[in-house]
Amino acid sequence: MLLPCKLQKFDMGTLNPLWFFVKKSMTVALFGITISDRFATVYSLTGTSMSPTFTTSSPGFPGYLKGDIVLVEKFCLEKYKFSRGDVIAFKSPSDHKREFVKRLIALPGDWMQISDTSDILKIPEGHCWVEGDNKEFSLDSRHFGPIPLGLVQGRVTHIIWPPQRISKVERKVAMERVRST
């Protein structure tokens, strides 16, 4: 004789809050990744190469909150819409795991005088010249030459942390050293 099979109803009511939390968390994470990858991201700055534009020590804050945190917009990457004097974020030409933030001094095709020398250099197509504002402590194009535009990650537009330093990043152009063609 066959015994009837008894179906048990699984109550999702106990899992509803957890399922709701997981769905919302995944949605927020995917949205955040998309924003960070396509439109803008934030960088926590370390080092003194961009001093006084950016600071790297705010006493009283823990870990990554000690220095300036900046907003990096990526819309400029679409057609490499940069201007001399912009502050840009880029991957190191010698170690792609490292990222730098420096000021854009010269664009492709520009003739420029290398600082502290009388040497004049033409920036090759598809490259740019970057330097830190604090030249004594900056690893920049004076050390590794013009950088490929493909390494640029975006343009630094605003300081967003600490609260007392929230501001737009100023463009500073070194016109006396650069002649565009």
Tens digit of each residue's pLDDT (9 = 90 or more) over 123-136: 999 999 999 999 89
Q: What is the pTM of this model?
A: 0.77
Distance separating alpha carbons of residues 69 and 66, to the nearest angstrom = 9
Active site residues: 49, 102
> In this structure, what token pair is assigned to residue 176?
């006396």
Q: How confident is the model at residue 38 (pLDDT cuts 50, 70, 90)?
A: low
Q: How confident is the model at residue 7 (pLDDT cuts 50, 70, 90)?
A: low
Please check the confidence at residue 82 and state whether its pLDDT lies above 90.
no
Q: How confident is the model at residue 43 (pLDDT cuts 50, 70, 90)?
A: confident
Average pLDDT over residues 142-150: 94
- In the chain, pLDDT over 90 holds for what percent of residues? 45
| Burial degree of 3 (CB within 10 A; 0-12, 13-18, 19+) | exposed
